[in-house]
Chain A
Amino acid sequence: MADFSLWDILRNLLLALRWTVVLSLIAFIGGGIVGALLLFLRLRGGKAIGRVVGLYVQLFQGTPLLMQLFLAYFGIALFGIDVSAWTAASVALTLYTSAFLTEIWRGCVASIPKGQWEASGSLALSFGEQLRHVILPQAVKIAIAPTVGFLVQVIKGTALASVIGFVELTKAGSMISNATFQPFVVFSCVALLYFVLCFPVSLYAKNLERKSHGRRT
């Protein structure tokens, strides 16, 4: 049995860290796009569409991310489509993220006073113009802080992708710990790396929140 130095452990974890980052980015960008589409549908579409999107949100918020990953990994395979852990994790995390983001953003849009819709509407702006020039510029300001805050949840959520065999930080950690028999050291490093990734993001979110509150009062 070869000896593993702390640097060996860290080096291998750092290599795996990039997949955590990539998966987080996929989830966030994919989830952002899907979430924005859902938001648009919810605002534009009638009651029926609103209810369907609402149900979608409830489904993803009301079930563990772990189950969603399992279902994506084993469920898609049932249709005879061969899914890699990559695809399954990307799909599950994208859908999960989209559900949360669309709900956060809906709240932000709803917090814009009704008078803004009425004033822009009575100036003959179309729905798209109202959204783009009047509502969203105001809603985005409110949305930035909670959105960045949610990014932290997504980063930590990617750890669950390890259970379907996706080799990111957590999975790499358990593999290394199996080889080194030093689980405490290894998982301490894993935790530290998550912290290093998440802490600046939450700090940034808090900063943004303070700024936007300061502007308002």
Chain B
Amino acid sequence: MGAPIVRITALRKSYGTNEVLKGIDLDVKRGEVIAIIGKSGSGKSTLLRCVTGLEVFQEGSLTVDGKPLLHESAMAMRELRQRVGMIFQGFNLFPHLTVGKNVMLAPTLVKKRSSLEAASQARKLLTRVGLAEKFDAMPDQLSGGQQQRVAIARALAMEPAVLLCDEITSALDPELVGEVLRVVESLADEGMTLLMVTHEMSFARKVSDRVIFMHQGRVHEMGPPAELFGNPQTAELKQFLSSLHD
């Protein structure tokens, strides 16, 4: 497997006096699929947002592909963000651009691709997420599930080494969750490194190689899904899992 693609060491993050991440250590291997679960407010989204530099952390270090995350350096951030893709709960498509242009924007600007090249790549990616015919549609003409799949294609267009998914099905109507999860599953099957915060426990169980249970800003329990869900060790995880069945 080689060196870890993401290495997080003793990471601490606080908002004012409120410490939300209290020392996180985590190595993500290439091709690994990790699901992060936990109550809201446990710091799981914040952890993801730290990896792509949307949140500044105060202590510890974070490297992606061996390159450290340096907030002060715009160049370093631009480098890092080309390796890390992020998909959001609220899709965040660019509403003034067509679906195709949404996918093409970053490759043409950042990777200096010609628009012809970028367009053919965008078509390929949209086909992959099952939306080939929506190339010229505007985002607001799409359902939530379709929008989220465009967001996935948009992130993939930058050919990231890691994909971060921040509760990407939480804003969707129940009947649209499946289509998005199927795309994510196919990415996992193709060997994409995934770090996802999710409330879809059965999905986490099925797809992930490792599950992380976060509690009060710490990695409280970690292990293969079968172990973690089948035989939880701590009282907090037991309580969390049983609360889901209520």
Contacts and interface: CB of A to CB of B under 8 A. Distances in A.
Contacts of B154: 123
B94 A126 contact: no
7 contacts: A118-B54, A123-B158, A124-B82, A125-B105, A126-B78, A127-B74, A129-B109
Report the contact-size class of chain B (Cβ under 8 Å from the partner). Answer: 20 to 34
A67 interface: no
Contact of A123 (B53, B95, B110): B110
Interface string B45-87: 0000000111000000000000000000010001001101110
A97 B82 CA distance: 41
Nearest to A119: B92
Contacts of A122: 52-54, 81, 84-86
Contacts of A126: 74, 78
B155 interface: yes
Interface of A: 113, 115-116, 118-127, 129, 133-134, 137-138, 141
A115 B85 contact: no
B95 A118 contact: no
Contacts, number: 62
The B contact surface, by secondary structure, is mixed
Nearest to B52: A122
Contacts of A116: 92, 94
Interface string B89-109: 010111110000000011001
Contacts of B106: 120, 123-125
B88 A115 contact: yes
Contact of A115 (B74, B82, B90, B158): B90
Give me the 4 closest cross-chain CB pairs, A-B, nearest first.
A119-B92, A124-B81, A123-B106, A115-B92
Contacts of A115: 88, 90, 92
A126 B79 CA distance: 11
B88 A124 contact: no
A23 B78 CA distance: 45
A122 B157 CA distance: 12
Contacts of B92: 113, 115-116, 118-119
Interface string B146-160: 000001001100100
Nearest to A130: B109
A138 B88 contact: no
A39 B154 CA distance: 29
Given A123-B105, A124-B158, 13 more contacts: A113-B90, A113-B92, A116-B92, A116-B94, A119-B86, A122-B54, A122-B85, A123-B158, A124-B78, A125-B106, A138-B94, A138-B96, A141-B96
A167 to B, nearest CB: 45
Contacts of A129: 109-110
Contacts of B93: 119
Nearest to B108: A133
A123 to B, nearest CB: 4
A138 B158 contact: no
A126 B78 CA distance: 7
